[in-house]
Amino acid sequence: MSEVEPEHMYERIATVLRDKILIGELGPGERLPTQAAISADYGVSRIVARKALDLLETEGLIDRIQGGGAFVRRYQPLVRRSALHYKSDPGAPFAEEALATERAPRYSYSTIPDRAGPEVAQRLKISVGDDVMRTLYTSYADDQPMMLVDSFEPLAITRGTPIERPEEGPLMGAGIVDRFTSIDMRPTAVVERLRSRMPRPSEVEKLELRPGTPVTQIVRISYCGETPIETADILLAADQYELEYAVKVDPKE
């Protein structure tokens, strides 16, 4: 029987405080114990106490004011249910996610013809330099930027069709499924691959991230049969989102 890896003391302290926040014992706006109080209560140095608070701050659970202490932040992450984004007539999944936390949704976008770089070309199984339509989205909840999407569609498929520009024409704002179905390229599969990383400086600025906050990157590729018809990089602030994936299990034969 293997031994459980011991936690650092600051992690243990953070766990106690986190639990109090998540069960509502410490409510939004309530002040946390000071570093001195934590140090005394747990018999640790102020450095350890500070690291416990640092951890909670990077998780988006507390706000800290210089010289004014730490306070419980209103923690209402958006829940992204992947399956809801890839169905016929999906509605407005992001708007629904934001409204579920009582925040007003909106998004901005820009669409430009572009040429595929090496990674996008590999995903779409086209040649480097081939024409693509690129659309960049920023989604907001109560004017807080929550999600960046950088989407690429091969113009060899969409050029001259009503869906050449995703946010124009009769299917503007429709989901991937309905848009490509309209040109007889109905998606048959969508693959999402996730990883966490630290953000680049431009991403910190665009998402208004706190220092030390990681991001979740979702690389999406949409297929019609064996043909990739769209790919996107979806970037989420890790402290603002929970991701839900529902997987159907085949019945026992």
List the beta bridge partners of residue 133. 113, 153
Question: What single-letter amino acid sits at 138?
Answer: T
Closest CA to 53 of 242, 210, 188, 250: 210
Closest CA to 187 of 84, 86, 91, 85: 86
Tens of pLDDT, residue by residue over 10-35, are 999 999 999 999 888 999 899 999 99
Distance of alpha carbon 71 from alpha carbon 64, whole angstroms: 6
Going along the chain from its start, the domains and CATH numbers come out as: 9-72 (1.10.10.10), 78-244 (3.40.1410.10)
Rg (CA), the chain: 22
Question: What single-letter amino acid sits at 144?
Answer: Q
Question: What single-letter amino acid sits at 210?
Answer: R
The reported pLDDT for the residue numbered 65 is 85
Tens of pLDDT, residue by residue over 176-218, are 999 999 999 999 999 999 999 999 999 999 999 987 789 999 9
The reported pLDDT for the residue numbered 7 is 67
Rounded to the nearest 5 degrees, what angle is found at the Cα of 94, between the Cα atoms of 205 and 29?
65
The reported pLDDT for the residue numbered 2 is 39
Contact 119, 232 (CB under 8 A): no
The reported pLDDT for the residue numbered 156 is 98
Other residues' Cβ atoms within 10 Å of the Cβ of residue 56? 22
The reported pLDDT for the residue numbered 3 is 44
List the beta bridge partners of residue 110. 136
Mean pLDDT, consecutive 10-residue stretches, the chain (253 aa), reads 60 94 90 94 92 88 86 86 83 88 92 98 98 97 94 98 93 90 95 94 93 91 98 93 86 78
Rounded to the nearest 5 degrees, what angle is found at the Cα of 146, between the Cα atoms of 19 and 70?
40
Contact 144, 249 (CB under 8 A): no
Closest CA to 81 of 248, 220, 242, 250: 242
Question: What single-letter amino acid sits at 29?
Answer: G
Q: Is the pTM of this model over 0.95?
A: no
Torsion of CA 177, 182, 186, 191, to 10 degrees: -30
The reported pLDDT for the residue numbered 101 is 87
The reported pLDDT for the residue numbered 1 is 36
